[in-house]
Amino acid sequence: MALTNETTMAQNHTRNAATSSDYRTMRGYLFVLAFGGAVLVMAGVQTAGLLVSQRLVADSYKVLQRQLSASYERDVAGVLEHQLAYLHMLLRNPAVIGAIRRGDREALMREIQWQYELKRQENPHVEVLHFHGPDNRTLLRVHQPENFGDDLTTLRPMIADANRTRESRTGFEIGKNGISYRAVVPITDGGDHLGALELGINIAYFTERLAEIFDVQVGVIFQGAAMQPFVAQHGDTELLPLGNDSFAFSAMDALVREAGRHSQQSRANLIPFDYQQKRYVAHKVFGINSYLGEKVGTLLVVADVSEQVEGIWRHTMWSSAGWLTLLMLLLFGQYRIFSRMQASIHKLAFYDQLTGLPNRSLLLDRLERAVLNSARNGEYLALLFIDLDNFKQLNDTRGHHVGDSLLQQVAERLRGCVRASDTVARQGGDEFVIVLEGLSHELEKALLQTHSIGEKIVAVLNEPYFLEDDLEHRCTSSIGVALSIGGKVDVDELLKRADISMYQAKAEGRNQVTFFQSTEAGIP
């Protein structure tokens, strides 16, 4: 009996040991399966995260490209309008017309020179003011009065065309000094055609504005055929071939030259590339066209996206780490990081990095909604275009960091002058825009409301600023105002009217508010 019990116990012990071994083996299999499943899920999450990151980076490139194109197009349109207005203003002077009729260069120079110098102070990139006779011969170069009498029929087809058709001509042109945006208007008096008047602004005006607003580097790529007038006078030693019959000036920044080479190897408008261990993206922003609409060159904008790309990828890589057993927490953490990434890109796309104010893109969106709201509720809205007077002098004498400090303080003061429901935006440089909604249904009351706020802004911005090293600085402002009701004026026209009024405020002595005067009923 004892032997039987011992045998049974031994058999039971053997079975239990086998069962225990089976359980251990099963647990091992389950652990391996669970671990493998977790790794697969994590890998799937990681792959999805990387794909989403790539998409977010690409979307941020496209947002920047749209902003650059919109800014460039608006600048060209604004320059064109101001050029034509300036030329027509000069030709309304009877003394100017009389000097042109007599061919009196000295009298013409006396009448024009001070106005040209004033224009140059307003915009140093104005480089050409040129009177042409009806035979396309130079009557007076205000910028180079010693050179006159040369026949430009062949060299300057824009002039010849304006004289032949007696119509205005505008567009980019490459001359002996490089590329500039030219406006040519016919000179007429009493039905007589007396020639043509030309104003030119160097393309650096547009490139520097883009560089300042978006913190990028900008260069110009030229088409080979368009460079013939320049090569004829200077040779090709200053030009750097980039391939595909395209050139850049050899003095161009090395980074932009590298971007130019990559851009000529790709048909895409967005070209990511690496340079000196950093990541950049080159944007082919817009065609530079002649007065005939022919492509003269292309603006190439280069943005450093190294930190943005590395940050997004770093967030994505680390977001997948964690406990393998807490997959739901991992997924939740990944979602939150993606949300933060999207919020970061949204801020980059729609807010000014220096002041934290809405940028041009968000301003246009809010202004479009404001116009729709005005049409729906029948209330006036006002657009205030604010430009700081003599801001460039502070930047040039004290440095950009001091100018940046002033802009930040101006932004804070503007926020304090309006309601939370109003929009304060930075247009770029030292230009700010305010959108006032929900004004009175009555024109007189709306004008009083807007004028009160405008005068408040003028007074507040005129108070002293304390910058670096306890530097006390005063800065006045010029404000142009345009009103609209019922959607009668679209966004572009409203911005244009406020811009014109701002320049009128500057012309009338600065440090004041000027309203746009319209002939439309119900709109001042």
Q: Please state, in angstroms and rounded to a whole number, the distance separating the CA atoms of residues 194 and 187.
A: 5
* 299 φψ region: left (φ > 0), alpha (ψ -120 to 50), beta (else): beta
- For residue 143, the SS3 value is coil
Q: What angle do CA 395, 417, 367 make, to 5 degrees?
A: 85
Number of helices followed by number of strands (H, E) in the chain: 14, 18
Q: Please state, in angstroms and rounded to a whole number, the distance separating the CA atoms of residues 383 and 367.
A: 9
Q: Please state, in angstroms and rounded to a whole number, the distance separating the CA atoms of residues 157 and 169.
A: 10
DSSP-assigned beta bridge partners for residue 4 = none
Q: Which residue has the tokens 């203003």?
A: 89
Q: Please state, in angstroms and rounded to a whole number, the distance separating the CA atoms of residues 42 and 35.
A: 10
Q: Quick one: which of 204, 227, 175 has its CA closest to 75?
A: 204
Residue 466: burial class (beta carbons within 10 Å; 0-12, 13-18, 19+): exposed
Residue 139: burial class (beta carbons within 10 Å; 0-12, 13-18, 19+): buried
Q: Is 430 labeled as catalytic in the residue annotation?
A: yes
The amino acid occupying position 219 is G
Q: Which residue has the tokens 């032949």?
A: 164
Q: What angle do CA 468, 458, 450 make, to 5 degrees?
A: 140
Q: What are phi and psi for residue 381, nearest 5 degrees?
A: -125, 155
What's the start-to-end Cα distance of the chain, in Å? Answer: 119
In sequence order, which ranges of 103-196 are alpha helices (DSSP H)? Answer: 105-122, 157-165
The pair of structure tokens assigned to 216 is: 């990028």
Q: Which residue is catalytic, options 430, 490, 492, 499?
A: 430
Instruction: Supply the residues annotated as catalytic.
Output: 430
